Amino acid sequence: MRTRHTGTLFLLALAVQIGLKLWLVHHHEVVACDYPFDDPWYVVASTNWYWWGSYAEGAFIRSPAYPLWIALSRSAGLPLRLSTEFLFLAAAGAFILSLVRAGLPRTAATVVFGLIVFHPFSVYVNDAVMSESLYAPILLASIAGMIVLLTQRANRRVAVWTGLALGVLWHTRQETPLIVFQVGLFAVVAAWVGAGEGKTAREIARGVGVMVLIVSTVGAGVSLAVRTMNYASFGAFADRQGEMPGFLAAQGALLRITPEQRMRWVGVPRESLQRAYAVSPTLRLLQPYFDGPEGRMWEASSPQTVAQAHEIAGRFGWPLRAAILWAGYGNSAADTEAFCHRIAEEIDAACTTGQLRCTHARLGSLVLVRSGLSQAPFSFESVASLLFWRATAVPPRCPATFIRPPIVDVFDFAANRRTALVTAVLHIAGWAVDFVDPVQTISFQDAEGRVIAFTDRLRARPDLDAAFRARLAPQSGPLLAAFDLRISFPRDQVAGGALMFALRSGKTVEVPYDQLRSVALKHPSSVGDDRSLEYAIEYRHVQGGSGLEDRALSALLRWYGNGVVALSVAGLASLLILLPARMRGASARRLYGVVVLLLGLTVSRVTLLALFDASVWPGDDPRYLYPVAYLYPCAVLVLLWCAGRGVMAGISQKLRKP
* β strands within 158-285, DSSP E: none
pLDDT at 215 over 90: yes
Please compute the mean of the pLDDT values over residues 630-652 and round it to a whole number. Answer: 83
Task: Please name the helix (run of DSSP H) or strand (run of DSSP E) that holds residue 227, with its range, or none.
Answer: helix 201-234
Residues 313-325 pLDDT 10s: 988 989 999 999 9
Query: CA 509 to CA 506: how far, in whole Å?
Result: 10
Q: What is the DSSP string of 445-462?
A: E-TTS-EEEEE--PBP-H
pLDDT at 508 over 70: yes
pLDDT confidence of 452, banded at 50, 70, 90? confident
Query: What was the pLDDT predicted at 472?
Result: 53
> Phi then psi for 294, rounded to 5 degrees?
-65, -40
Angle subtended at Cα 41 by Cα 36 and Cα 43, rounded to the nearest 5 degrees: 135
Query: What was the pLDDT predicted at 423?
Result: 65
pLDDT at 522 over 50: no
Query: What was the pLDDT predicted at 413?
Result: 93
pLDDT at 470 over 60: no
Query: What was the pLDDT predicted at 304?
Result: 84
Query: What was the pLDDT predicted at 167?
Result: 97
Query: What was the pLDDT predicted at 576?
Result: 73
Query: What was the pLDDT predicted at 626?
Result: 96
Give percent of the chain above pLDDT 90: 52
Query: What was the pLDDT predicted at 527?
Result: 44
Question: Which of 634, 618, 591, 530 minimizes the C-alpha distance to 140?
Answer: 634
More confident residue, 346 or 656: 346
Query: CA 43 to CA 70: how far, in whole Å?
Result: 7
| DSSP SS3 for 480 | strand
Q: What stretches of 485-585 show up as alpha helix (H) in DSSP? A: 548-578
Query: What was the pLDDT predicted at 540?
Result: 64
Residues 523-554 pLDDT 10s: 344 444 445 677 777 766 555 545 688 788 88
pLDDT confidence of 479, banded at 50, 70, 90? low
Query: What was the pLDDT predicted at 467?
Result: 65
Residues 48-87 pLDDT 10s: 999 999 999 899 999 999 999 999 999 999 999 999 999 9
Give percent of the chain above pLDDT 70: 84
Q: Residue 510's beta-bridge partner residues? A: 500
Query: CA 39 to CA 50: how far, in whole Å?
Result: 14
Stretch among 57-71, 273-287, 381-395 having the lowest mean pLDDT: 381-395
Residues 578-636 pLDDT 10s: 655 555 566 778 899 999 999 999 999 999 999 999 988 898 889 999 999 999 999 99
- Mean confidence (pLDDT) of the chain: 85
> Phi then psi for 439, rounded to 5 degrees?
-70, 135
More confident residue, 286 or 447: 286
What's CA 651's distance to the chain center, in Å? 47
Please compute the mean of the pLDDT values over residues 209-225 and round it to a whole number. Answer: 95
Question: Which of 159, 151, 157, 152 minimizes the C-alpha distance to 103?
Answer: 151
Query: What was the pLDDT predicted at 365?
Result: 61
Structural contact between residues 533 and 509, judged by C-beta atoms closer than 8 angstroms: yes
The count of residues in the chain is 658
pLDDT confidence of 478, banded at 50, 70, 90? very low
Query: What was the pLDDT predicted at 405?
Result: 72
Query: What was the pLDDT predicted at 475?
Result: 47
Stretch among 242-246, 322-326, 514-518, 519-523 having the lowest mean pLDDT: 519-523
pLDDT at 476 over 50: no
3-state secondary structure string, 122-190?
HHHHHCCCCCHHHHHHHHHHHHHHHHHHHHCCCCHHHHHHHHHHHHHHHCCCCCHHHHHHHHHHHHHHH
Query: What was the pLDDT predicted at 108?
Result: 93
Residues 6+ apart with CB under 8 A from 328: none
